[in-house]
Amino acid sequence: MEDRPEIKVPFARVDASGNEYQYLKEVLESGWLTTGRFAGMLEEQFTGIIGARHGLAVNSCTSALHLALEALGAGPGTKILVPTMTFTATAEVARYLGANPVLLDVDPTSGLLTPEIVEKGLESNPDAGILMVVHFGGHPAAMLDSDSGRGILQLCRARGVRIIEDAAHAFPARIGDSMIGTIGDVTCFSFYANKTMTTGEGGMVTTEDDTLAERMRTMRLHGIDRDAWHRFSRPGAGWEYDIIAPGYKYNMPDTAAAIGLAQLERHQQMHERRIELATRYMSELQQLVGLGLPACTVPRSDHAWHIFPVMLDPEAPVDRDQLISEMNQRGVATSVHYKPLHRMSYWRQECRLDEAHDARDFPGAEARWRGSVTIPLFSSMTDGEQQHVIDTLEAILEAPTAC
């Protein structure tokens, strides 16, 4: 059998040191496991923290993205602008509805869409109906620019293009006084196992728009006009319901919401720990030869620090795959965010892309992904675990001696 190196620092580890077990026990003992009181409380508390008008708990961010596109009326032929530097979920939901994603490049240092890239994308695609913005890594994209009036949101509003924010990485993050979740038409969060707060699998979709919220609420549960909780949980509520649309099965069960409520109670503490860890990486890794650190490019933006992607320069003593393999040998788990969509066979075929497009249309993403490695960052990470990651990187990249 192959000798596998022992994992000393995992890529992520859930931080369940609060009321997770207690709330889960309460749900199990209540006799009601599916969507009910706990999911309702999670929605209320999450929207309270974000400051959003509506929040719907769902079973993944992918479901949230699908609901958002459907509610905005995306269908066959709708052109949807999507950054290439993202997980496939951001774009795949467009295909569920027969809509057509058009991939946009990103800024090489941040991995984000910029107003300049969006403006170019809108000019080349005047028939685009929707823009998906990804707050890559937890760093908010430049949605608002009160000085120039040329933030991404403002550029889209001027052309009547609707905005969905993929905030899978971005709870809690803000731009100025606005929390992510209150800016675009609809915002979609992920509570997947490695996210800044988790329900195992799950998500939340927020909006300020009553009509969009109503449509997403209906489509979240089979297109039923009244969910089971409201039919069966109150005496005399009545069994009858109607089907008003061909909906989906995207509701969040109370078992997941119980974990989410406990996570939400400690979100600030978990966020502060992520900031502390990221700050230490920033100061201790800055002298390493050939290693680029995450850039904070948007003024007054608060970073959620979901992940910590570093970038190897071409002058680095090892390449990306060597670094990943050597870190793995020393017990440090890593990931890559992301191999861009334009390099994935399905999207290459779907968007009719070939090598000529790579350099011409996606220079930022091309420059970024070749050297990109994501190192462990999670709120339950110990100082010792972080030190091991730092020592490992130093050993591989050999810090230069001071002159």
Q: Which of residues 117-156 bind ligand PLP (CB under 6 A)?
A: 134
For ligand PLP, the closer of residues 173 and 285 by Cβ is: 173
What minimum distance in Å lies between the beta carbon of 72 and ligand PLP?
A: 17
CB nearer to ligand PLP: pick between 107 and 288: 107
The least distance separating ligand PLP from the CB of residue 190, rounded to whole angstroms, comes to 3
Figure out which of the listed residues 70, 92, 105, 166 binds ligand PLP, where binding follows CB under 6 A: 166
> Nearer Cβ to ligand PLP, position 42 or 396?
42
Q: How far is the CB of 134 from ligand PLP (least distance, A)?
A: 5
Measure Cα distances from 197 to 168, 182, 275, 304, 310 in Å: 10, 18, 14, 11, 22
Stretch that binds ligand PLP, among 16-24, 82-90, 124-132, 226-234 (CB under 6 A): 82-90
Near ligand PLP by CB under 6 A: residue from 78, 90, 374, 392: 90
198 in Cβ contact with 14 (< 8 Å): yes
Sign of the Cα torsion 344, 349, 350, 351 reads positive
Among 192, 229, 250, 281, binds ligand PLP (CB under 6 A): 192
Structure tokens at 368: 């970024």
Token pair belonging to 361: 């249309």
Is the CB of residue 164 less than 8 Å from the CB of residue 188?
Answer: yes
Q: Shortest Cβ distance from residue 92 to ligand PLP (Å)?
A: 9
Nearer to ligand PLP, 193 or 245 (CB): 193
* Window 336-375: contact mask with ligand PLP (x via CB under 6 A): ----------------------------------------
Alpha-carbon distances of 307 from 39, 137, 196, 275, 318, rounded to whole Å: 27, 5, 9, 11, 22
Task: Check the CA dihedral 119-121-127-132 and report its sign.
Answer: negative
Instruction: Give the residue, chosen from 121, 129, 203, 292, that forms a contact with ligand PLP under the rule CB under 6 A.
Output: 203
**What type of residue is 42?**
L
Task: Choose one: 87-95, 110-118, 148-156, 273-281; the region binding ligand PLP (CB under 6 A).
Answer: 87-95
Tell me which residues in 167-186 interact with ligand PLP (CB under 6 A).
168-169
Edge-to-edge, what's the strand order for the sheet holding 174-175?
Answer: 178-179, 174-175, 301-302
**According to CB under 6 A, which residues from 29 to 58 bind ligand PLP?**
none
The two structure tokens encoding residue 194: 């490695």
Interface with ligand PLP: number of residues (CB under 6 A):
14
Stretch that binds ligand PLP, among 98-106, 122-130, 162-170, 367-375 (CB under 6 A): 162-170
- Region of 119-127, 149-157, 164-172, 268-276 interacting with ligand PLP (CB under 6 A): 164-172
Is 63 in contact with 250 (CB distance < 8 Å)? yes
CA 247 and chain centroid, separation: 24
Is 230 in contact with 237 (CB distance < 8 Å)? yes
**Nearest distance from C-beta of residue 194 to ligand PLP, angstroms:** 8
- Beta-bridge partner residues of 55: 206
206 near ligand PLP (CB under 6 A): no
Residue 11 contacts residue 376 (beta carbons within 8 Å):
yes
Distances (CA, A) of 29 to 23, 200, 229, 384: 10, 20, 17, 38
Neighbours of 244 (CB within 10 A): 12
In the set 86, 198, 263, 386, which binds ligand PLP (CB under 6 A)? 86
d(CA 144, CA 125): 22
Q: Choose the binding region for ligand PLP from 60-68, 247-255, 354-362, 385-393 (rule: CB under 6 A).
A: 60-68
Which one of 35, 47, 60, 374 is in contact with ligand PLP (CB under 6 A)?
60
For the chain, how long is the longest CA-to-CA vector? Answer: 81
Closest approach, Cβ 71 to ligand PLP, in A, equals 17
Residue 221, strand partner residues: 249
Minimum gap (Å) between residue 189 Cβ and ligand PLP: 8
Report, as residue numbers or ranges, the catalytic residues. 195
Q: How far is CA 224 from CA 221, 230, 315, 365, in A?
A: 6, 11, 58, 42
CB of 386 to ligand PLP, least distance (A): 23
373 token code pair: 């490695």
Contacts with ligand PLP, residue ranges (CB under 6 A): 60-62, 86-87, 89-90, 134, 166, 168-169, 190, 192, 203
